[in-house]
Each structure stands twice: as structure tokens, then as C-alpha cells.
Structure 1
Amino acid sequence: MADSIRQRLLQMLEEHTDTYVSGQMISESLNVSRTAIWKHVAELRKNGYEVEAIQKKGYRIVTRPNSLSKEEISLKLDTTFIGSEIHAYPSVETTQFIAHNLAHEGIQDGAIVVADEQTAGKGRLGRSWHSPKGSGIWTSIILRPKLPPQRAPQFTLIAAVSVVQAIRKQTGLEAEIKWPNDILINGKKIVGILTELQAEADQIKSVIIGMGINVNAAKEDFPSDLTTATSLKIESGEDVNRAALLASILNELEVLYTEYMENGFRMIKLLWESYAISLGRKIKARTLNGVIEGLAKGITEEGVLLLESDDGEVHHIYSADIEIC
């Protein structure tokens, strides 16, 4: 109940950033006492908000934290179900682990897990993912599409398009997609996406989309041997509001997810190909069966990469590390 009142109080202050909101107006709108308002303002201040209070004028937010709190994310959401339930943590081993447990327990479609820090973040093929405190977005989104398991790989591509569109809208940076799960800016990795599945033989129970996004990390925040990564702050020269970016990603994801469920993969495929850095270029695909070199032609309706080798044969690449020649 207290969280709900605090959320509504924040919403009121957010809607009146250029003026003061009187205590009487807050009291009448939220049906709480002046004393309760003061306690909620004190709690906001403890959480990093600078709230100005002037007698006979009211309250006004001066500055807000660049945090991934439930309140900050919810304020910027424009969705009907994705993000309707938010589990936010200061530090976890991995958000994927928590999301898997919540999915097993029957959590609702569209719930998300987000953390300010991961101590054991992981990427594709079990690789570690650098997830320092306060600098990025480490999140897992739980979806429950009524689809067969073979459709699950498409969700990595849907998520990639969502992230690219949100980054471009929020920062103006030309983010691009490297198949299957990386987002690059100026050739360096800024986002990794890990999609995992809980399923029965013929039915998806849950798709869990994990995202690691380097937002406000400085160059010195990365390990010295990690030369292929960058952050939005490094590329733009400015701090990026993490909650606003995450909310924008969730907004984009809900639109694309709904489109996919109603009309299939065609529109998402076209969008994905328009953002893909490797299409039309020579690449090397390092698969479990060896290296295949050729021209990246596109993706199938299932999200499989099409690679045409020099002899004209078109190879279907289901899983590989890609190197652009």
C-alpha cells in the first residue's frame, strides 16, 4: 500500500515539474494525511530524490536519481502488461536465475526482474558478462506466448529490434544488430541478449529474455582485456537515464510482441534486417562443425541466418559466433 501511494505521489510531482504541488492537493488526491505525505517525501529523499518543500507552496522534485527503482521505471512505462510487475534488486548473482524461479512459480506474463548490479552475470554459451554496480541495465523479461518451442529463437530477434529502436530514440546513437544477439555501436558491443526457454514437448511455458546493457560505464570501468565493449555514455559523451531507457525498451517490446503474436514474424524480420550490420557483407561463422565463410544474405522466418559461400551454396546457420571480414 505504501509503495502504491509513493508511486502516485511521484506521478503527481512528475506531472508538475515546473511548479509546486500543494500539500492539500496531494492529500485530497491520494486520500492521505499531511503527516503521511511528509513521511513519503522523507522516504523519497532517502532513495536519492531531491524534493523541495516550501511552506504555502508545496512540493517539487528538483533532481531525481539515475536509478532502476520500480517507481522510476513505472513512471515512464506506456504498456499494458510488460513491466506491470517489477522485481527490482540492488544486487543479484544473475537476473536470469531469479526470473527462472519466478517463472516456475507461475508469475504473470510480462513480469520483469532488474538489478543495479550482477555478481555472476552470464552471456551466450555460458560466457561471463561484466555487470558493475550503478552503470548498466541488467534485466530479465518473462513472456508466456502460447506457441510451440521451435518459435522461441525469434524472441531474441524481437528483443534486439526493441533495444535498437529504444537506444536510437533515447540517445540518437546508430545502434546496429550483429546476429544473433549483440547490439553494436561503432563496431563495439553495447548490449548482449540471452534468451532461455522453459517448455514442454509442444508448448512454451515461458521465454525468459535476459539483457545486459552498458549504459553509463566509463572506459576505466571495463576490464583492461575487454577491448570490444563500449557504453552509451562513452559513445554519446552524456549520462543516460537508465529507467527511461529500460521503459522505452519495454514499450517497444510490447508493441513488437503484440505484432508478432497477431500477424507473425514478417514485419519484425524486415525491421531486424534493416538494422543488421552484417547483411550484404562477408562474414565468418564459427560453428560447432567448423568455420563457414561467405556473404550474409538475410534471415529466415525462423530467425536462421542465411550465409552464401563462394561456391554459391546457401548455408543455414542456427548457432555460431560471427566475425565480420
Structure 2
Amino acid sequence: MESTRNKLIKLLAANQDHYISGQLLSERLNISRNAIWKHMKELEKDGYVVEGKSKKGYRITGFPDKLSENTIQWGLNTRWAGKTIIHKETTPSTQIIAHQAASDGAKHGTVIIADQQTKGRGRMEREWHSAKNKGIWLSIILRPAILPYLAPQLTLLTATVMADVLYKHAFTQSSIKWPNDILINNKKAVGILTEMHAEQDQIQYIVIGIGMNVNQQIDELPEGLQTIATSLQIETNKNWSIKELIQDILLTFEDAYDTFIEKGFSEVKRKWENYGFRMGEYISIKTLREQWGGTFSGIAEDGALIVKTSGGETKKLYSGEIEWFRDGENDVKQTGSETNKCK
């Protein structure tokens, strides 16, 4: 059930250009006018500037910079994504909170957001540096009616969502490095972590974690990452509104997810391959048993990387060590172990 605070925010958002009376708010929300006044005070604590005039009512005239459940939901035009938001100033990891909330029955589309993560992590338990108020650190709880083996498709879908959001904001040089890193000018700006709780034939819930570097300066990135990671600020030399980016991500994600559920994986596959880093190029691969190479020709429905060898054989790769950057193509040679499996 939608909270009274969310209903109040929607009413105020629909009447930004004029006052809405306390009596009308009271009738619409079925609470006392004194309760309305208390809610307004809570909005002011979040940083909103609330103007109240006798015989006229209330309106919002100023908006806060900081994140909160209220500030994110103000102007968020989604149907289900982010209708419930859990915001933390500091937390070890939004994934931890998301798993607990999902176990406690949190609804599909619940979003957990933090200003800072002290133990942010990516795939294979790698650390993700999550500085306070410098990026987007969020997790989304999903309860899809799909079979567990299709869960990797949601990782690929999320990657296309993030690439679309970046493209929309003029980052035309963004690409997806299989399976879930988003690069800007060949440097990592976004990481995605998908974790699942399921039975053999049924998904209980999926948690998708997104980490996005937004307003870091180059010297604010850990020294070991400065040559291989980037942020929106580094690429454009301007600060970005984290709140507006979060709203854009949630709206874009909701549309893409609903299309996926209705029409299947084909559009995700097409879009992913359009953004795919090194698509159509030769890549070198090392697995536990062999070292080989071939042309990166696409992704399979189960999220595997498809490689065509020089001998004409088509292979699927689920995990391995891929040399994405070769000498002469970038200032740094990066070799990373990749896997598309959900945890």
C-alpha cells in the first residue's frame, strides 16, 4: 500500500505552480490538517522549501540536493520501480540490505540506495570503491516470473539500460564489456552485480546492484584505478545531479524490464550487441584448460559470450580470462576474469 507521504508528494508535485489547500490535502489523504502540517515539517527536514500561506495552502518552492526517499520519489514517474525506497546515508553494501528486505517480503521494484558503501563489492567479491555522495550505489529487488536459468538475461538487460542512460546524456563513446561493465572511452564507469535466491524451477527474488561513478575527480579514485576507471565528472568536467540520474535509471529500467517480460530477450540481445565492447573483433581467452582466441560475435540467450574461432568453430564462453585491451589499443593492458553467472 502506498504511504501517506508518497501520496502527499504526488499531490504537491501535480500542483507545483499554485497552492493546494490544507483542507483539500486533508480530504484527499484522509488525515487531519495537523497531520498535514507535520508531514510538511518532515519534508523541510529533507531540505524542501515549503511555502504555506493562510487561506491559500501549501506549495513547494525549493528542492534539496541530498538524497532521501522523498527527494528521489519527487518527480519519479514510474509505475512500480522505486515506489518503495530504502535510503541509507552509510551502509556496508546495499546488496546486504536488499537481501534482508527481500527475505522479509519487500515488493517487486523496491530500491535500496546509499550515499556511501563501506564494503561495496562487485562480481567475484571484488571491492567497489563507493565514496560518499560521489556516485550511485543502489540495489533493485525483482520478483520476475521467469525460470532461474534465464536470470543472466537480467544482468544483460541492466547493462543496456545503463548504456542507454549514458547515451541519452551525450556519452556516445559508452560500451558494454561482457557481461556487465559499462565503459566510457574504454574506462570503467559502471558495474553491475546480479544475485538470485531461487528454487530449482522458481525464482524467489533477484537483487540487481548498480554502482556508477558520477562526481569523482581523478584524484578521488583509488590510485590503482585511475588508469582504468572514470566518472561522468572526469569525462565532462562538470558535476551531475545524482538524484536526476537515479530517476532516469529507474524509469529506463522499468520500461526495458516490462518490454523484456512481455516480448522476451530479442530486443535486449540486439541492443546489447549494438553496445558490445570489441564486438566483431579478435579477443584472446584463457580458461583452466586452454588458451585460445577468436572473433567476438555476440551473446547467447543464456548470457554466454559467443566466439568464432579461426577454424570456423562457434564456441560459447561462460567464464574465463579475457584480454580485452591489447598493446597499442590502449595505454593500459587489462586482463580480467569474467563470468556471466548469477550468484
TM-score, shorter chain, exceeding 0.5: yes
Report the 3-state secondary structure (helix = DSSP H, G, I; strand = E; otherwise coil) of the residue aligned with 2:294: strand
- Alpha-carbon displacement from aligned partner over 1:121-154 (angstroms, at most 9, x marks no partner): 0001110000111111111111122322211111
Query: Which one-letter code corresponds to 1:247 in the other structure?
Result: Q
| Counterparts of 2:89 and 2:302, CA distance in 1 | 37
1:312 aligns with 2:312: yes
Worse overlay, 65-74 or 260-269: 65-74
Q: How does 1:175-194 map to 2 (within 5 A)?
A: 175-194=174-193
Structure 2 contact 189–232 (Cα < 8 Å) conserved: yes
- How many residue pairs get aligned? The number is 322
Worse overlay, 133-142 or 46-55: 46-55
Q: How does 1:1-150 map to 2 (within 5 A)?
A: 4-17=3-16, 19-21=17-19, 23-24=21-22, 36-51=35-50, 61-150=60-149
Matched with 1:240 is 240
Query: Which one-letter code corresponds to 1:132 in the other structure?
Result: A
Structure 1 contact 89–114 (Cα < 8 Å) conserved: yes
Structure 1 contact 173–236 (Cα < 8 Å) conserved: no
Structure 1 residue 218, shift from structure 2 partner: 2.1
Query: Which one-letter code corresponds to 2:279 in the other structure?
Result: L
User: Against the structure 1 CA distance between its residues 16 and 137, is the aligned structure 2 distance closer, same or farther, given a 3 Å change threshold?
Assistant: same
1:292 aligns with 2:292: yes
User: Against the structure 1 CA distance between its residues 5 and 281, is the aligned structure 2 distance closer, same or farther, given a 3 Å change threshold?
Assistant: same
Structure 1 residue 308, shift from structure 2 partner: 2.2
Identity of aligned residues (%): 43
Query: Which one-letter code corresponds to 1:272 in the other structure?
Result: W
Report the 3-state secondary structure (helix = DSSP H, G, I; strand = E; otherwise coil) of the residue aligned with 1:156: helix
Report the 3-state secondary structure (helix = DSSP H, G, I; strand = E; otherwise coil) of the residue aligned with 1:116: strand
Structure 1 alignment gaps of length 5 or more? none
CA RMSD of aligned residues (A): 2.7
Structure 1 contact 157–180 (Cα < 8 Å) conserved: yes
Structure 1 contact 281–324 (Cα < 8 Å) conserved: no
Query: Which one-letter code corresponds to 2:214 in the other structure?
Result: V
Structure 1 contact 48–64 (Cα < 8 Å) conserved: yes
Q: How does 1:202-241 map to 2 (within 5 A)?
A: 202-227=201-226, 228-241=228-241
Worse overlay, 117-126 or 92-101: 92-101
Query: Which one-letter code corresponds to 1:66 in the other structure?
Result: D
| Counterparts of 1:95 and 1:51, CA distance in 2 | 31
| Counterparts of 1:114 and 1:290, CA distance in 2 | 41
TM-score of the aligned structures, taking structure 2 as reference length: 0.83
Report the 3-state secondary structure (helix = DSSP H, G, I; strand = E; otherwise coil) of the residue aligned with 1:320: strand
Report the 3-state secondary structure (helix = DSSP H, G, I; strand = E; otherwise coil) of the residue aligned with 2:98: helix
Structure 1 residue 23, shift from structure 2 partner: 5.0
Query: Which one-letter code corresponds to 1:136 in the other structure?
Result: G
Report the 3-state secondary structure (helix = DSSP H, G, I; strand = E; otherwise coil) of the residue aligned with 1:117: strand
Matched with 1:157 is 156
| Counterparts of 1:262 and 1:20, CA distance in 2 | 40
Structure 2 alignment gaps of length 5 or more? 327-343
User: Against the structure 1 CA distance between its residues 4 and 198, is the aligned structure 2 distance closer, same or farther, given a 3 Å change threshold?
Assistant: closer
User: Against the structure 1 CA distance between its residues 286 and 63, is the aligned structure 2 distance closer, same or farther, given a 3 Å change threshold?
Assistant: farther
Structure 1 residue 69, shift from structure 2 partner: 1.6
Structure 1 residue 77, shift from structure 2 partner: 2.9
User: Against the structure 1 CA distance between its residues 101 and 33, is the aligned structure 2 distance closer, same or farther, given a 3 Å change threshold?
Assistant: closer
Matched with 1:282 is 282
